[in-house]
A and B are shown apart, each in its own frame.
Chain A
Amino acid sequence: VLIIGAGAAGCRAAIEANEYGIDNIIMVSKGPFGKSGNTNLACVVYSASMRHTNTRDSPEAHFKDTVVEGRYLGNQKLIEILVREAPKTVWDLERYGMKWSKYKDGRFYQLPAPGHSYDRGVHCGPPPEQKGAGFRVRELGIALQACLCREVKRHQSITILDDIFCTNLLTNKGQVVGATCIDIKTGKFFAIQAKSTILATGGAGLIYEMNDMFTGSTGDAMAMAYRAGAELIDMEMHQFFPTAYVYPEYVKGRIVRSSSLWVLGLKLYNAKGERFMERYYIDYQRFRSTPEHVPRDMLSRAIYTEIIEGRGTKHGGVWYDATDIKGYEPPKTRKVLGIDPYRFEVAPACHFTIGGVRITERAETSLNGLYACGEVCGGLHGANRLAGNALAECLVFGAIAGKNAAIRAFSTDLPEIDKEQLDAERERVFKLRRQKSADGIRPVALKRKMQKLMWEKAGLVRDAVGLKQTMEILDTMMAEDLPKLVIADVDRCNFEWIETLEMENLLTIAEMTVRSALMREESRGAHYRLDFRETDNTNWLVNIVITKSKNDRMHLSTIPAVLTKMRPQER
């Protein structure tokens, strides 16, 4: 079994496959094992309806919240699995040595989170008796990754390969038989042969200029799966977090912590000093005390509109004002870095890739021998993701993918690798280093250019004209700029080479995003079209599926959304 990606999903899949008796597991990681990836950056809560803090909670309520927040686009069969298995994964992690926050009597201390109807977020901050509990939450991600790393190391037959970049999947007669990789440390090219391959690489937030993701989140596995012929789903959906720093430059893209501040009386001003949310949410006084207390997608969109229409600050943000919040103690780090702790500039940032590789309830993709789990797969969250559901998804589907990959590995023989394909891939990869051109472009420059373009034209607010323009520019980038990239010809640690390969993947993801966004002529959750502002439940309760057609072009089609239990009510 080959596992690509060593975050939460990858580790869980490796453990599960090993416990099913597979003793030849290779897990590859793009950075150092346990020291890279988005899991480390995960914030606060892990959603599971444990019924420990609020006994009225139930998996059914969790199901309902996820479906409604996903605007009925999520695959309800997958959501059912998620809510059913999430409490079990909490106990699994407990057994792996995770120190969850608990009451004295041993019940889990669960926190409320936006979008959840009951207190559902298991976390590992201070226990409820301690002062400041519930506000001073410690980061969950880093603890989770450390705990999973320890558990993986206890399973000694899991081979971990650090600093490996996977370039492509190898296929033979319609099934995936392994992957080609580059060892970043030495620059050597090699192939890994496997009976089953699990993708667990995470999202593709780097297609946008403003993102809060780890610099390696370039959607490599999504692009690889696409090239190998797998189906991708919901690629127009990218979730944005409303408030991330934009200035000073050195903290750009980092999230301003705690969305609870929006509820407590945070104020947002544009460059003119206008409290602009009053304009977007006119009748707020009937329901809420502040106009800023709105869901993530609405707040992001309002801030973005202000910036794009020229009412933003000179660094491209809006003012975040926390001076009026009673009893608010800002983190000390802000002062150290010379930022006014109460007033600074913020803008939305890409937070999560909702779309991805389409999976079944058994975590299989549309290709034989290929499995996917975690952020890399799509279709689960629908049009918006709830807080804490991402980590739960990684653990739940990681286990499912690990199990099914193990079962498949038992029942098949090791397939042959197609030598021609291997040579072609080697040629493709090494050709990049020999490219020479008079007006050469650095991959960094091209990346910046694409990120800016995507952010302005295909970000939070989209329209047909802008998307068509973007598509044209992306086409020229792919046709003209990619062959012009000039990179250093070094073997060891040639990060520029890797960046070029990532760049190709990013452009593929960007194209998918733009094409699907252009196709979906409505607004729903994270996807907002200026020319189609309404949610259209009669025509667009469908998922957009992307496959590669025979002439190497993207083929888009729609399938009806899987609605097994809940249907949207007509208003």
Chain B
Amino acid sequence: LKSKRLKVKILRYDPEKDKEAKYQTFEIPTEGTVFVLKALNYIYENIDPTLAYRRHLCLGAWDSDTANLCRACLMLINGKPRYACSTIVEGDEITLEPLRGYEVIRDLVVDFNKTKIR
């Protein structure tokens, strides 16, 4: 497998500093199959240490038909709510947004206790 470049577009927002949320695009090298959370880990470790996301990767009993997840890394991946830890990146571009309906704390982290009234 040849390594290729992956474009990760992330909706970033800090309620204390920013007026509105903005997209930021990161380009990272990938090889083979990549989970969304691993791509985020790569950005956090090598490019931007201020990126906020639920990075608790559950290394549990994934090896079964009923996946066992801690369910904390739920986010919008290409517009659909998915778990970052178990979603595989398809194509060479991906858009990540925080889960809708909850208050955003920063970047991709939402407060599961505070639902936004729409």
Interface size class of B (residues with CB under 8 A): 35 or more
Is B20's CB within 8 Å of the partner chain A? no
Q: How far is it, in angstroms, between the C-alpha of A45 and the C-alpha of B35 when the chains are bound?
A: 29
Q: 18 A-B contacts, Cβ less than 8 Å apart? A: A31-B70, A31-B72, A32-B112, A40-B68, A40-B69, A139-B68, A141-B60, A248-B33, A250-B32, A251-B62, A254-B59, A254-B60, A257-B63, A331-B64, A334-B63, A491-B16, A493-B109, A494-B52
Is B21's CB within 8 Å of the partner chain A? no
Known contacts A35-B112, A162-B112, A492-B14; A40 and B59 CB within 8 A of each other: no
Contact of B67 among A43, A162, A333, A334 (CB under 8 A): A333
Within 141-156 of A, Cβ neighbours of B (below 8 Å) are at 141-142
Within 37-51 of A, Cβ neighbours of B (below 8 Å) are at 37, 40-41, 43
Give the B-binding residues of A (Cβ under 8 A): 31-33, 35-37, 40-41, 43, 136, 138-139, 141-142, 162, 185, 211-216, 245, 248-251, 253-257, 331-334, 336-338, 442, 444, 487-488, 490-496
| Binary A-proximity of B39-54 (CB < 8 A = 1, otherwise 0) | 0000011000110101
Question: Which A residues lie within 8 Å of B101 (CB)?
Answer: none
Contact of A331 among B58, B65, B71 (CB under 8 A): B65
B71 touches A139 (CB 8 A): no
B105 touches A35 (CB 8 A): no
A211 touches B38 (CB 8 A): no
Question: Which B residues lie within 8 Å of A33 (CB)?
Answer: 112
Question: Which B residues lie within 8 Å of A337 (CB)?
Answer: 33, 88
Question: Which A residues lie within 8 Å of B113 (CB)?
Answer: 162
B105 touches A333 (CB 8 A): no
Kindly list 14 other residue pairs between chains A and B, CB separation below 8 angstroms, not including A185-B105, A254-B59: A35-B71, A40-B68, A139-B60, A139-B64, A142-B69, A162-B113, A215-B56, A215-B59, A250-B33, A255-B59, A331-B65, A334-B63, A444-B45, A495-B52
B64 touches A40 (CB 8 A): no
Question: Which A residues lie within 8 Å of B105 (CB)?
Answer: 185, 492-493
Residue of B nearest to A338 (CB): B33
Question: Which B residues lie within 8 Å of A248 (CB)?
Answer: 32-33
Chain B: minimal CB distance from A453 (Å): 19
Question: Which B residues lie within 8 Å of A31 (CB)?
Answer: 54, 56, 70, 72
Residue of B nearest to A252 (CB): B59
Residue of B nearest to A37 (CB): B70
A256 touches B66 (CB 8 A): no
Known contacts A162-B113, A185-B105, A492-B14; A40 and B63 CB within 8 A of each other: no
Q: Which 8 A-B pairs have the closest CB atoms?
A: A41-B60, A493-B52, A35-B72, A139-B68, A492-B106, A493-B106, A257-B63, A215-B56
Chain A: minimal CB distance from B113 (Å): 6
Q: How far is it, in angstroms, between the C-alpha of A40 and the C-alpha of B60 when the chains are bound?
A: 8
Question: Which A residues lie within 8 Å of B62 (CB)?
Answer: 251, 254-255, 333
Is B76's CB within 8 Å of the partner chain A? no
Q: How far is it, in angstroms, between the C-alpha of A43 and the C-alpha of B68 when the chains are bound?
A: 9
Is B34's CB within 8 Å of the partner chain A? yes
Chain B: minimal CB distance from A398 (Å): 19
Q: How far is it, in angstroms, between the C-alpha of A43 and the C-alpha of B49 when the chains are bound?
A: 33
A331 touches B63 (CB 8 A): yes
Contact of A250 among B38, B64, B107, B109 (CB under 8 A): B38
Is B11's CB within 8 Å of the partner chain A? no
B49 touches A496 (CB 8 A): yes
A250 touches B34 (CB 8 A): yes
Chain A: minimal CB distance from B47 (Å): 12
Q: How far is it, in angstroms, between the C-alpha of A487 and the C-alpha of B52 when the chains are bound?
A: 13
Chain A: minimal CB distance from B84 (Å): 12
Question: Which B residues lie within 8 Å of A492 (CB)?
Answer: 14-16, 52, 105-106
Question: Which A residues lie within 8 Å of B49 (CB)?
Answer: 442, 487-488, 496
Residue of B nearest to A139 (CB): B68
Question: Which B residues lie within 8 Å of A488 (CB)?
Answer: 49-50
Contact of A215 among B34, B45, B57 (CB under 8 A): B57
Chain B: minimal CB distance from A535 (Å): 31
Chain A: minimal CB distance from B108 (Å): 9
